[in-house]
Chain A
Amino acid sequence: MTPLLIIAPLIGAAIAFPLARLTGRACGWLCAAIPMAAFVYLLRVLDQLDSSTAAHLVSFPWASAVGLELSMRLDGLSIAFGLLITGIGTLVCLYADAYFQHDPRRGRFLSYLFLFMAAMLGLIFSDNILVLFVFWELTSVASYLLIGFEHEKNASRQAALQALLTTGAGGLALLVGLILLGNAAGSYNFTDIIGTHGLQEHPHYLAIVLLVVAGAATKSAQFPFHFWLPNAMAAPTPASAYLHSSTMVKAGIYLLARLSPALGDTDVWFWLLVGLGGATMLVGAWLSVQQSELKPMLAYSTITALGTLVLCLGLGTPLAIKAFKVFLFVHAFYKAALFMIAGTLIHETHETRFERLGGLGRIMPLTALSGLLAALSMAGLPPLLGFVGKESIYEAVLYTPVAMQILIAVAVLANVANVYVAVAVGLFPFWRSRGTHAPVKHEAPLGMLAGPLLLGLLGLSAGLFPTALGKYLLTPAGVTVLGKEMVFDLKLWHGINTAFLLSTITLALGVTILCFRKPWLRITAPLQFLHRIGPEAIYHGAVNSMLGLSRLQTRFLQHGYLRYYLLVILACTIGSVSGALHLKVPESTLPMDTLRLHELLTVALIALAALALTRVRSRFGALACLGVVGYGMALLYVYYGAPDLAKTQIVVESLSVVFFALLAAAMPGFKELTSASVRRRDGVIAALAGGLMGVLVYSTLASDQTRPIAEYFRENSLPLAHGRNVVNVILVDFRALDTLGEITVLAVAAFGARTLLRLRSKKRSAS
């Protein structure tokens, strides 16, 4: 059953496209059955997990010779993530169905969505870290396809590439980190790695942590790699709600949580993650209150939330892990809901700025209700789950042994930004008197309502009865992260304590900034220059200089001039081969044989004709020289016992000369195209290369001359092939296939030449 978790979405990816063609309306509802079934299955597995069987393991051999297994691990942590992926996946399917109601691209979108779902489920359920890595990269690919979904827009393509390059670079770091980790632990399985003690003292510990955290930071949009996430909002809103808020960006968080029992509990881990998370929270908070467009606002607040999760993991105390788990769910609930609501608003009004929206509460009461629930949860108001989440974060920070004051300030500022975004996206458009957008006539369709409403109600009921959530879902997950027993007792109301006071301050500050938005933007305007020197500017600089470098080296190495390629090849060959020849000059010399005058004359004539060919100016002169060389060669073949060669050479030479005369001779003479110095340079190189060939032939002749193959043909020509001319027998019998190849070459050349000639005559007759 378990592998179906990954296989079923893959099947979904394959059938979504034809299904959308066939069924039209109901496609999304049919597709939603797949994640729904997975969700129910995961709930059942979770129910069976108890303290004695902390993890449900399934394993299949893959490449057992190198110790690779397709093993899956279903434990508290992975099931918690799995429930989010399948649960929200179900709702996003329904949402996408309505969002792309009259759009032919619906099938393609759902197909990509399922591809992503399969990759993401594979990522969290892999027990083997190398298999995890494969799925990790697959999620990047799926994200690339979804961000660039509207590929006709340049901005979408750029954003997709940026996300791919950033997460891909992090992925490379992660791969190295995982291999180091696997070697250090002696196993590539999480089950063994988590059970390994003393990894913190391993000499590669620092490198492993830095590389793994780098991979996680790019995937989860931590500062300074956060810039790709707001740009990824170019994706259609259902994808943003799914990938870029509640699931994919949490892959890095998942990996850190998964490895924290093995790698955590050191100063490096603490300061690295707390610093990274804190910085990301501040950057995300700052940028989100500068925004007025709905989706980028939510994206920046997602960055804040991801920073919060990393911070909690870094703190690593039981309270912090509790906050981590609660906030993971809180954030997924309200952020997916708010993204869907933002998508609905943009879809209905074609307006992306929140301050232009208003008065929608009366027309879209149900959307307004879900907006209210999500916004209150995000702002951290009771009795929603968001309140429990925020209180537990404050609690975790308040009981931190070091740097308490700074962390409290960071947490408060991050939540102030959350309040701001929550009110701006979830309340403003519905409860303000009226906006400046095009009028909206009706409520959103059922598919677009189901997701936000259900998530909002979940947030409400989980806030009212937090004990159930804590007991069934958070306790097993927390045990996995912390590596020891712990009990979650979530309560909605803790009484008036420090955490509650901080909540009140947060709320007041957030609403204040929103009320004095214009003066606030004016005051902070001088700080806009930071965008020009920030990490995104560095990214663009790096990409541009890379392109420049490749253009430069292409122009240098791949210039396209045959003669310079040849010059370089010849010069290199002369250099290297003559060096090698110098080392071993053959000892023996050629035996002196008799010289004959007519043979010498023929050789001299050919050589002179070849030399003249290099200097000749007229086409007919070239033709004459060529003829002398060719017929001279035929004579040489006659002298040295090769009548067949001589005959062939004469026929071919005659044909060549005829061709040459027909095609090239009746044209004006050669022009002088190159300067004398260039000709001299080429002459020297060509002479050296020719000389080198001569030396090579000489040393071949001077060395051993046994002819083991020839004897076979000589002896068997008559008995086996019944032919007296051994050369002919070789060609048509012993090596007949070679001759067939030769004929094929000739046929292809003939067809090619004929086509070119016909092209020419057609053109001529046309003109």
Chain B
Amino acid sequence: MQISLVLLIAVLFGCGFYLLMRRSFLKVILGLMLLSHAANLLVFTAAGIVRDAPPLVHDSMSAPPAGSADPVPQALVLTAIVISFGITAFALVLFRRAYDVLGSDDIDELRRTET
């Protein structure tokens, strides 16, 4: 199963890079979103994956059961998800503002900033 996740990471990164190289502002933002998914999945997968064993401490035990998932990458990814949401939201608003001013989605038109 791991190998399929590795392939998925490769696809997400590839599509993200491709979209980042586009001239449309919105596609660049889409690329940014794909890249953050790819990076999250990378951190999550790189620690090794375990099925159906969340790092929870059950009643009458003092530690999660042996063989449960690694909590550290989960904590990292959780932070990353929230921050990438912040970036995406701001980028979307910025895009909207630029579009209102310029009337165009083309990044090359951004040099006309005197409006």
Contacts and interface: CB of A to CB of B under 8 A. Distances in A.
Contacts of B89: 655-656, 659, 749-750, 753
A641 B50 contact: yes
Contacts of A670: 24, 26-27, 105
A630 B37 contact: yes
Contacts of B102: none
A760 B97 contact: yes
A449 to B, nearest CB: 56
A682 B1 contact: no
A715 B63 CA distance: 5
A656 B83 contact: no
Contact of A642 (B1, B14, B28, B69): B69
B69 A701 contact: no
A694 B69 contact: no
Interface string B78-93: 1101110111111011
A299 to B, nearest CB: 45
B95 A664 contact: yes
Contact of A563 (B22, B41, B85): B22
A718 interface: yes
A652 B26 CA distance: 19
Given A686-B15, A718-B57, A640 B99 contact: no
Given A656-B85, A673-B106, A731-B79, A563 B23 contact: yes
Query: Which of the four size classes fits the interface of chain B?
Result: 35 or more
Contact of B51 (A590, A639, A644): A639
A731 B71 CA distance: 10
Interface string A574-617: 00000000000000001001111001100100110011011000
A725 interface: yes
A562 B20 CA distance: 8
Contacts of A600: 1, 4
Contacts of B105: 667, 670-671
A566 B15 contact: no
A727 B72 CA distance: 7
A407 B18 CA distance: 76
B71 A726 contact: yes
Which of B5, B30, B83: most chain A CB closer than 10 A?
B30
B76 to A, nearest CB: 9
B63 A673 contact: no
Majority secondary structure, B binding face: helix
Contact of B7 (A566, A674, A683, A694): A694
Given A613-B30, A641-B50, A749-B87, A652 B18 contact: no
A606 B8 contact: yes
Given A641-B55, A656-B85, A670-B24, A690 B15 contact: yes
A685 interface: yes
A707 interface: yes
A750 B85 CA distance: 11
Nearest to B68: A641
Contact of B1 (A594, A649, A715, A756): A594
A738 interface: yes
A603 B9 CA distance: 10
Interface string B1-39: 111111111111111111111111011101001100110
Contacts of A74: none
A593 B45 CA distance: 14
A727 B77 CA distance: 10
Contacts of B38: 693
A749 B20 contact: no
Contacts of B42: 693, 697
Contacts of A547: none
A629 interface: yes
Interface in A640-685: 640-645, 648-649, 652, 655-656, 659-660, 663-664, 667, 670-671, 673-674, 682-683, 685
Contacts of A713: 71-72
A45 interface: no
A663 B89 CA distance: 10
A570 B57 contact: no
B15 A726 contact: no
A184 interface: no
Interface string A27-67: 00000000000000000000000000000000000000000
A725 to B, nearest CB: 6
A756 B90 CA distance: 9
Contacts of B13: 689-690, 693-694
B92 A664 contact: yes
B12 A690 contact: yes
A107 to B, nearest CB: 39
A735 interface: yes
Given A656-B85, A718-B57, A760-B100, A663 B93 contact: yes
B92 A640 contact: no
A645 B9 contact: no
A131 interface: no
B2 to A, nearest CB: 6
A622 B26 CA distance: 10
Given A735-B75, A742-B83, 17 more contacts: A596-B1, A606-B8, A607-B8, A614-B18, A629-B33, A629-B37, A640-B69, A652-B82, A671-B106, A685-B17, A690-B17, A707-B47, A707-B48, A724-B56, A730-B75, A746-B83, A753-B93
18 contacts: A599-B4, A603-B4, A610-B12, A639-B52, A641-B68, A645-B77, A645-B81, A659-B88, A685-B17, A690-B15, A693-B10, A697-B42, A700-B46, A718-B62, A724-B58, A745-B86, A752-B93, A757-B93
For the complex of A and B, 8 pairs with smallest distance between CB atoms: A690-B14, A694-B10, A641-B69, A686-B18, A749-B86, A686-B17, A726-B71, A724-B57
Interface of A: 560-563, 566-567, 570, 590, 593-596, 599-600, 603, 606-607, 610-611, 613-614, 619, 622, 626, 629-630, 633, 636-637, 639-645, 648-649, 652, 655-656, 659-660, 663-664, 667, 670-671, 673-674, 682-683, 685-687, 689-691, 693-694, 697-698, 700-701, 705, 707, 709-710, 713-715, 717-719, 723-727, 730-731, 735, 738-739, 742, 745-746, 748-750, 752-753, 756-757, 759-760, 763
Interface of B: 1-24, 26-28, 30, 33-34, 37-38, 40-42, 44-58, 62-64, 68-72, 74-75, 77-79, 81-83, 85-90, 92-97, 99-100, 105-108, 111
